Structures are given as structure tokens and as C-alpha cells.
Structure 1
Amino acid sequence: MLNLSELENIHPDIEAVHEIVHQLKARIDGKEIGVSIFRNRHGHYFFELSHYYRGADNADPHIVAENRFDSAEEAARGALRTATLFYRSTDEGGRWIRNDSLLH
């Protein structure tokens, strides 16, 4: 395991270093969603999704209040729950939107 806090001190302009632990792909009703699982210097895991779902009502996508997990498996489960939280296959007019704020 890398010492991420030590790597952050290599240069004063480095704000944070995250280790990419897993890259996953999930297929949800034919749409491929990328899931990245990261580990931070405190040993916690978090995720990012390549896409999020916006329903026909055009409400803003659900933002996860807590995106910190004790294991990569928990982070993967959290990512998939988040990706499918508001998705409905019968939602005419809903769409998947690319997440342009990905870390990598």
C-alpha cells in the first residue's frame, strides 16, 4: 500500500493524491456506467460514476451525502445503489448524463 500522505508532500501545489483501486463497468438497462473506486490517504474508499440519471421530471440528480466507506466492496455497493436510486425503466423522457467532473 502506498503512503499517499508522503506523496502529497513531494510538491507544495499537490492538494491530494488518491489511489485508483478498481475500475468497474455496470450495465443498467443497456447503458454502460463506469464506476471508479478510490482510496484516500486516510484509508477510506469512495466512488465516482461516469454517468448519472436524470428523470423525466428533470430534477437534479441525487448527490450522495456520505461517500466514504471502509472497504472497496462497500464503495462499489454504494456506487451501484446511487446509480440506480432514481432510475426507472418506464421513465419516458429520462436520460443518462455524462459526469464531466470525474477525478481521472
Structure 2
Amino acid sequence: MMLNLSELGNLHADIQAVHEIVQALKVTIDGKEIDIDILRNQNGHYFYQLSHYYIHADKTDPHDPSENRFSTVEEAARGALRCATMFYRSTDEGGAWVRNESFTL
């Protein structure tokens, strides 16, 4: 069943956006469990949220939100896994998993 997210967003003037969580995934990377939510926005596009991001030793922020829009759930899941693993290296001394404060459980 597809919800009309635009209609739901219009129920109250203070609602900024309504997103539907369509898939919840977990991935374990070298012993660290990462939660992934795949969401659908009002335009019917899918995007992901990660519970944690890996910041490697030079502290570069790997998250690029401009590339977080997909046509299917599967594409969004692949994008999430790419994002989670793109900068991770088991030999990276000084890198760390950082909690994504905007991720809701």
C-alpha cells in the first residue's frame, strides 16, 4: 500500500516532511553493527540513513548527501552499503565509527 505522503504532510502547518521507512537493514563490518533505514520521500524517491559513519584517520567527512537519492529500494541499499564501506579499512589506525546523531531508532 502506497501512502500519500504529501497529504499526510499537510495535516499540520509545522510538519516539515513525512518519510516512510520501507526497509530496515543491519550490516556488520569488521565486528561493528550498522543499522540502515531505507526511506521513501514525498516525491517517491528512496534514500538511506546510516546509524554510524566511518571517519578515517585524516578525519575527512565521507558523507555526501547529494548522492543519496535513488529510484528503487535496491539501489538505495547498495548506495548505503557503498557509503558505509567506502572509507573503511581494517588497517586504518586512528579511524573510528561515529554515531549519526540524526538517525532515529
TM over 0.5: yes
Q: TM-score, normalised by structure 2?
A: 0.92
Look up the match of 1:34: 35
For residues 55-70 of structure 1, the aligned pairs below 5 Å read 55-70=56-71
Conserved? CA contact 1:54–1:95, under 8 Å: yes
- Structure 2: gaps spanning 5 or more residues: none
1:68-100 Cα deviation digits (max 9, x unpaired)? 100111000000000111110111121100000
Asked if 1 retains the 8 angstrom alpha-carbon contact of 2:62 and 2:83, the reply is no
State the 4+ residue runs in structure 1 displaced beyond 4 angstroms. none
Tell me what 2:97 maps to: 96
What is the one-letter code of the residue matched to 1:99? N
Instruction: Decide whether the 8 Å contact of 2:39 with 2:46 is kept in 1.
Output: yes
- For residues 59 and 44 of structure 1, the distance between their equivalents in structure 2, rounded to whole angstroms, comes to 28
Say what the alpha-carbon RMSD is for the aligned residues.
1.3
What does residue range 15-54 of structure 1 map to in structure 2 within 5 Å? 15-54=16-55
Larger CA deviation: 47-56 vs 63-72 = 63-72
Give the whole-Å Cα distance in 2 for the aligned partners of 1:62 and 1:85.
Answer: 10
Structure 1 unaligned spans of 5+: none
CA–CA distance in structure 2, aligned partners of residues 103 and 39 of structure 1: 15
C-alpha distance 95-19 of structure 1, shift in aligned 2 (>3 A): same
* Equivalent position of 1:72 in the other structure: 73
Instruction: Give the % identical residues.
Output: 67
